[in-house]
Structure formats: structure tokens, C-alpha cells
């Protein structure tokens, strides 16, 4: 399917959830989606782990060789604030997309069985789930908390606004994963993340220019006050974590500075990065730029060498047990 719109308006939400509180975080999704829809957005993008927390500074009291009761209790709270698919909570998201007639991309903490996954979902204007992508490999201490995704989540959805897909945070540093999406013809590349370093912005520009696609970078603007008062890393009087200078965290301390932006297929900003405030970043994508950009570079066409390099992608589900009749 070719895009049926000459222009596509996108919105990258830079905000924080009400951490560990799923109903209140769902309400924030509904609010920001409605605001973006009023501004004419076709696609609304939320950051990594928006439902219902990126657990800043906390590995749930897990250390090598030991786990603590408090950490298990907080993991249970995190699990309770996660989203199952299907579920009434997912139905709420589908309703939000449908009522606002938008494509809705959201970073969620997904629960299945006893495992949590860092997942990105895309919902159609009519509330249909177009894809569910689980982060292939969580980064650093995230691996203590989230399971790993599999190749069946490397999906690019062919929609009326273009071919839409993406990767989560540092998955974007996996060249093979990017190449798989390029081969699927990705046109609108969504990158929900939790990285507010300046070097990350360079990554977003690189991917846009390398993939000859539009890139939507969505990160949280998040403060200590977005977490419960008794959240262990910041809880007074004995927080389990301190700042680099050795002092205790305060409610106004910033955990993620944002940097959400939109980049065109030549690596040029369509919406510059925004820092240190809650905001919805808008950009209008002129879809004709996709073809123009490939005049001199196509990563899986004119600028590929399949006679030299080949990539095999296993798209089977990551199910550990099968039953044969």
C-alpha cells in the first residue's frame, strides 16, 4: 500500500506517566492523544515504558546472588501496573485511538505469564492492533526486569499513512535489526526511548539518513516527583540511591531531560529536539521526500551488495514449549 496522504502530521509526546499507577497513566494517554488529534495529528507517539513506568535508578533490589523481599514487593507493584494484551486496559487504548481517529504508538510494559516485556505497540485508527514489538535485548540492568523479544516482532505495518515500524531505545544500535526494517520498506520509523544524551540525537539523524526514512524520537520528560513518595531510590529519609555528588534526590530533580524530535530522510530536523519541559512535538511529513532521498542512496537497493553481505532473520515466535498432537 502506498501512502494515500501527501502529507502526514505526527506528534511526539514528551511527558511522564504517573509511575506505577496504570489508571492515571491511561488517563494521561487519553489526554495527550486528544490534544494531538485536535492539532490535526495522524500519528501520536508516546515514549518507552509510558505504561506505567520506566523504573529509573532501581533494579528491584536484585544483586548477584541475592534478592530482597522489598524488591519482590515493588516488582509485584510494577507487574500490576503493566498491560496485558488482550485486556480491558488495552481496550482503553484502542478506544482512545478510535475516538480520536489517530494511529497510536505507545511504549508499554507488557505482562504475559509471569514475565514483563518492554514493548512498543501500534494501534490503527479503528482500534485494531497492528503490531506488538518486544524489545529484543534489554540494556544493562533492564535485563533483570524485562524478558527478551523475538523476531516475530520485527514488523513494519503497511498503512494509509505509510509503512510504519520501529525499534526501542538501544535496539537502535543493533545494525542487523535496523537492516531488517529497511528491507521491509520502513518509511516512518518510531524510536521510543529513555536516552537523553546528546549523542542519541546524532543516532536519530544517522538512522533517518541511513534508512532514508522519517524518524520520530519520543522520550519522557520525567522528574522524581513523577514517582511514588515511597519509591526506594528516592524515598526519604533513607533513599537507596544518591546523585553523583552524593546528595539525596529532591522532588524537582530531573531524571530524563527529553530531547524528542522528528528527522527527515536526509537526516535534517523537521522538528528540533526539545529539552526540559513537557511538550508535544509536531512535524508534517511530506511523503514525496522518501523517493527523492533514495536517488543517491537506498540501503537495501542501489547501495546494497547482497552478493557480499546477507542477513537471515528468524521471525518465529519465541515460544519455549510446543505441543505436538
Give the Cβ contact number of residue 97 at 10 Å.
25
Q: Does residue 222 have an active-site annotation? A: no
Q: Does residue 48 have an active-site annotation? A: yes
Q: Does residue 223 have an active-site annotation? A: no
User: Residues 9, 28, 111, 135: which is the catalytic one?
Assistant: 135
Listed in sequence order, the residues at least 6 apart from 211 whose beta carbon sits closer than 8 Å to its beta carbon are 178, 181, 182, 186, 189, 265, 299
CB-based contact 165:157 (threshold 8 Å):
yes
User: Residues 9, 28, 48, 213: which is the catalytic one?
Assistant: 48
User: Residues 169, 213, 222, 261: which is the catalytic one?
Assistant: 169
Which candidate, 192, 241, 244, places its Cα nearest to that of 218? Answer: 192
Query: Which residues are catalytic, by number?
Result: 48, 135, 169
Amino acid at each position: 500500500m502506498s501512502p494515500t496522504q501527501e502529507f502526514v502530521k505526527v506528534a511526539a509526546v514528551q511527558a511522564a506517566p504517573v509511575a506505577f499507577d496504570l489508571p492515571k497513566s491511561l488517563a494521561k494517554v487519553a489526554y495527550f492523544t486528544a490534544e494531538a488529534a485536535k492539532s490535526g495529528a495522524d500519528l501520536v507517539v508516546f515514549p518507552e515504558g509510558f505504561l506505567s513506568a520506566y523504573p529509573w535508578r532501581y533494579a528491584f533490589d536484585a544483586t548477584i546472588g541475592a534478592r530482597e523481599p522489598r524488591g519482590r514487593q515493588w516488582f509485584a507493584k510494577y507487574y500490576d501496573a503493566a498491560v496485558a494484551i488482550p485486556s480491558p486496559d488495552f481496550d482503553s487504548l484502542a478506544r482512545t485511538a478510535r475516538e480520536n481517529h489517530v494511529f497510536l504508538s505507545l511504549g508499554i510494559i507488557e505482562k504475559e505469564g509471569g514475565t514483563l516485556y518492554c514493548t512498543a505497540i501500534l494501534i490503527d485508527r479503528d482500534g485494531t492492533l497492528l503490531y506488538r514489538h518486544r524489545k529484543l535485548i534489554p540494556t544493562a540492568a533492564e535485563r533483570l526486569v524485562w524478558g527478551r523479544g523475538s523476531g516475530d516482532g520485527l514488523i513494519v505495518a503497511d498503512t494509509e499513512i505509510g509503512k510504519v515500524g520501529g525499534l526501542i531505545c538501544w535496539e537502535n544500535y543493533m545494525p542487523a535489526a535496523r537492516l531488517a526494517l529497511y528491507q521491509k520498506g520502513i518509511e516512518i520509523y518510531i524510536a521510543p526511548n529513555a536516552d537523553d544524551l546528546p549523542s542519541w540525537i546524532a543516532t536519530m539523524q544517522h538512522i533517518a539518513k541511513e534508512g532514508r526514512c522519517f524518524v520520530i524520537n519520543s522520550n519522557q520528560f520525567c522528574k522524581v516527583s513523577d514517582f511514588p513518595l515511597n519509591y526506594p531510590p528516592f524515598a526519604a529519609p533513607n533513599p537507596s540511591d544518591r546523585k553523583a555528588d552524593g546528595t539525596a534526590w529532591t522532588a524537582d530533580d530531573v531524571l530524563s531531560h527529553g530531547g524528542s524530535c522528528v528527522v527527515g530522510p536526509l537526516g535534517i530536523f523537521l522538528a528540533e529536539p526539545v529539552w526540559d519541559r513537557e511538550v508535544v512535538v509536531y512535524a508534517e511529513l511530506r511523503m514525496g521526500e522518501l523517493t527523492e532521498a533514495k536517488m543517491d542512496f537506498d540501503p537495501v537497493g542501489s547501495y546494497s551488495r547482497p552478493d557480499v553481505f546477507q542477513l537471515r532473520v528468524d521471525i518465529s515466535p519465541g515460544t519455549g514449549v510446543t505441543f505436538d498432537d
